[in-house]
A = this chain, B = another copy of it.
Amino acid sequence: MIKAGVVGGTGYTGVELLRLLAAHPDVEIAAITSRGEAGTPVDRLFPSLRKRVDIAFSDPAKTDLTACQCVFFATPNGVAMGQAKPLVDAGVKVIDLSADFRLKDIATWERWYKTKHAAPDLVAEAVYGLPEINREAVRKARLVANPGCYATAVQLALLPLVETDFVDRDHLVADAKSGVSGAGRKAEIDILFSEAGDNFKAYAVGGHRHHPEIVQSLRAAGGRDLGLTFVPHLVPMIRGILATVYARVTREADFQQLFEKRYAGEPFVDVLPPGTQPETRWVRGSNHCRIAVHRPMGGDTLVILAVEDNLVKGAAGQAVQNMNLMFGLPETRGLEQVALLP
């Protein structure tokens, strides 16, 4: 049994991690810390976990996480970078679900996250935890930077295209749409039911933090620079991301086959049959990303559709997938939930 700790378990990625870990046959949840909720039984805050998680949130100052073998940070950005070092040094495998270790270029990170980075050395060591790109590195990693939710969907939609040379890689467009849980469990006006319900809008049109993350990772994967316009939108649903990606074909190829080959053997990437139009509910609560390849009206613009559950493959599920890799377990262990439909 892997003794697992969760730092900051009061947000949505936290509770989702608890849902998955509680059902994982090789994991024992050893500690969940929260400054604000120290002492509160976890199932009082999240009664969905009654009879399944029977510990209480503990005070981070009084919790020895080095007794764990694996620690997940489900904290706001800026926390993990200050706390990961002693854990890594003590041999604890660390998986950070926040953005602290995602960007290799410290200056870029500091510009987007508006803070000084506290652990640049760890950034260098951290492995970007998208198994479909970095599986082998993840297996050996001591510290994994778990990808952002949009970043996961957009990358999986673009990967086969940036690794090859069939489309104009300087003018890619990713029009992404996310459920509201992606904004986290924070008391903010914009994500109130009466603001986000029965409504639709784009946001962060001027620039979103997942943009540099996507570009950095795809640049490495493709071995060249790329140009990407990324516009996120807020959908009045709780979970789910759909990325609609547009790319201009410059050289002909069988794109359906290109995607099928690229993802053959991937347990959590499902290339759908031609003509399929995926829906976010097809992955609600599951760790799959389902992708469809379209060529509208036979024109020169390729349209890729990718859906994922932002809290699972886009966050907690991917973190567990990374944990499985780091501990030599089958990659799908504890991640076999069937999507909840309807």
Which A residues have a C-beta under 8 Å from some C-beta of B? 12, 15, 19, 22-23, 46-52, 171, 173, 175, 177, 179-181, 183, 185-189, 191-203, 205-207, 211, 227, 229-231, 233, 235-240, 242, 244, 246, 248, 270, 272, 275-286, 288, 290, 294, 296-297, 299-301, 303, 305, 307, 336-342
Given A199-B280, A211-B297, 8 extra CB contacts under 8 A: A48-B281, A48-B339, A50-B290, A180-B197, A194-B238, A197-B236, A198-B237, A206-B296
| Candidates B180, B248, B279, B284; contact of A201 at CB < 8 Å | B279
B180 touches A193 (CB 8 A): yes
Neighbouring B residues of A299 by C-beta, 8 Å: 227, 229
A197 touches B202 (CB 8 A): no
A191 to B290, CA, bound (A): 22
Closest 6 CB pairs of A and B: A48-B339, A201-B279, A48-B341, A180-B193, A175-B175, A194-B342
B48 touches A236 (CB 8 A): no
Neighbouring B residues of A270 by C-beta, 8 Å: 50-51
| Candidates B19, B187, B193, B285; contact of A193 at CB < 8 Å | B193
Neighbouring B residues of A186 by C-beta, 8 Å: 189, 192
| Candidates B191, B207, B337; contact of A192 at CB < 8 Å | B191
- Closest residue to A198 on the B side, CB-wise? B237
Neighbouring B residues of A227 by C-beta, 8 Å: 299
Given contacts A192-B185, A205-B296, A270-B51, contact A235 B238 (CB under 8 A): no
Given contacts A201-B242, A202-B305, contact A341 B277 (CB under 8 A): no
- Closest residue to A248 on the B side, CB-wise? B171
Neighbouring B residues of A175 by C-beta, 8 Å: 175, 244, 246
For A19, A244, A283, A342, the residue with the greatest tally of chain B CB atoms inside 10 Å of its CB is: A342
- Closest residue to A20 on the B side, CB-wise? B338
Closest chain-B Cβ to A198's Cβ sits at a distance in Å of 5
Neighbouring B residues of A15 by C-beta, 8 Å: 341-342
Neighbouring B residues of A200 by C-beta, 8 Å: 177, 179, 235, 237, 240, 242, 279-280, 307
A185 to B188, CA, bound (A): 10
- Closest residue to A49 on the B side, CB-wise? B338
| Candidates B203, B211, B340; contact of A277 at CB < 8 Å | B203
| Candidates B181, B272, B277, B284; contact of A194 at CB < 8 Å | B181
Given contacts A19-B340, A199-B237, contact A286 B193 (CB under 8 A): no
Neighbouring B residues of A50 by C-beta, 8 Å: 270, 282, 288, 290
Given contacts A47-B282, A48-B286, A297-B207, contact A197 B199 (CB under 8 A): no
A200 to B181, CA, bound (A): 14
A342 touches B206 (CB 8 A): no
Given contacts A197-B180, A233-B177, contact A277 B338 (CB under 8 A): no
Neighbouring B residues of A192 by C-beta, 8 Å: 180, 185-187, 191-193
Given contacts A231-B303, A338-B52, contact A47 B278 (CB under 8 A): yes
Closest chain-B Cβ to A139's Cβ sits at a distance in Å of 23
A338 touches B189 (CB 8 A): no
Q: List 27 A-B contacts (CB under 8 A).
A: A19-B341, A46-B341, A47-B272, A47-B279, A48-B341, A50-B282, A50-B290, A171-B301, A173-B173, A173-B246, A175-B175, A177-B233, A179-B200, A180-B192, A187-B189, A193-B196, A195-B342, A200-B242, A202-B242, A205-B277, A205-B296, A205-B303, A206-B296, A229-B246, A229-B301, A233-B244, A284-B340
